């Protein structure tokens, strides 16, 4: 299907991956070669080997998700696209591929619509991930400190008022960046999972005795937040009113 292509790096990016992630280029090249030849199961195994070796980035998860899409494994496709999204939240191809993958799901879970202001904030937030938002937060604090220092030095001069305006803008920008960093950090602390069985009964309690009621069903590929867990069960939540317990072996945690 159109849009589900792997991300092929240039030589420069490959060298950066070698330096920053210490990824064995031969493994990555081999995985890419399998994909280009249409051997998607072998490509998926090669990408999984890279991930299991401790090398993680958005492009590896993107390519892995595309392999699973090609083999019809929608659950693992969505899991890896979602993992990729943590590294590349602004990637339009990735976002479009997630939408396409979800078209084949049985459960049509609608996302809540946003008011215009929050849509504007969401667009701004999508520029950052957990790493870039942290850097932006510290940079904003440093710049704000510099501006206030300059104001103290020049407050009795003609430039003082101009610097004061910059300080006000700096405070506003720093507040927005601080909230964005907190928001992204909170999101990354939340746990999500994807159903990996054709049909799963969601129960009212973490057991299968007569006191546990069947609340509703979830199907392969559906994503839900993991709100609680024990040794054998996850509590999944779709919203405040729709939640329940499923066995851990029916869920892949993102």
CA distance 217 to 87: 31
> Band of the pLDDT at 14, cuts 50, 70, 90?
very low
**Alpha-helical regions (H) of 88-129:** 92-102, 116-125
Residue 141 CB-half CA count within 13 A: 8
CATH class for the domain made up of 191-253: mainly beta
Q: 91-143: per-residue pLDDT in tens?
A: 889 999 999 999 989 887 765 555 555 678 878 887 887 888 889 999 999 99
Question: Is 162 a residue whose pLDDT tops 70?
Answer: yes
User: pLDDT tens across 43-80, in order?
Assistant: 999 999 999 998 888 999 999 999 999 999 999 999 99
Q: How many whole angstroms separate alpha carbon 170 and alpha carbon 111?
A: 34
- Please name the CATH architecture into which domain 11-102 falls: Alpha Horseshoe (1.25)
pLDDT (tens digit per residue) in 192-208: 999 999 999 999 999 87
- This prediction has a pTM of 0.69
> Cβ(80)–Cβ(60) under 8 Å?
no
How far apart (Å, rounded) are the C-alpha atoms in residues 108 and 215?
A: 17
Distances (CA, A) of 84 to 63, 64, 73: 9, 9, 17
DSSP 231: S
């Amino acid at each position: 299907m159109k849009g589900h292509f792997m991300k092929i790096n240039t030589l420069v990016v490959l060298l950066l991956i070698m330096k920053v992630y210490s990824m064995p280029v031969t493994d990555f090249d081999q995985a890419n070669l399998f994909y280009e030849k249409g051997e998607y199961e072998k490509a998926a195994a090669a990408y999984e080997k890279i991930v299991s070796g401790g090398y993680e980035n958005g492009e590896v998860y993107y390519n892995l998700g595309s392999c699973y899409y090609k083999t019809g494994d929608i659950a693992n496709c969505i899991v890896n696209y979602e993992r990729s999204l943590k590294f590349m939240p602004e990637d339009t191809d990735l976002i479009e591929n997630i939408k396409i993958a979800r078209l084949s799901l049985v459960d049509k879970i609608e996302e809540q619509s946003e008011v215009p202001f929050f849509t504007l904030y969401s667009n701004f937030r999508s520029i950052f991930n957990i790493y870039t938002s942290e850097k932006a937060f510290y940079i904003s604090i440093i710049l704000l400190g510099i501006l206030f220092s300059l104001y103290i030095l020049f407050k009795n001069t003609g430039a003082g008022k101009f610097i004061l305006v910059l300080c006000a803008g700096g405070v506003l920008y720093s507040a927005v960046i601080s909230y964005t960093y907190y928001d992204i950090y909170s999101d990354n602390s939340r746990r999500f999972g994807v159903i990996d069985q054709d049909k799963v009964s969601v129960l009212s309690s973490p057991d299968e005795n007569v006191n546990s009621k069947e609340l509703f069903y979830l199907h392969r590929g559906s994503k839900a937040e993991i709100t609680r867990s024990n040794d054998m069960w996850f509590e999944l939540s779709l919203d405040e009113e729709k939640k329940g317990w499923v066995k851990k072996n029916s869920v892949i945690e993102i």
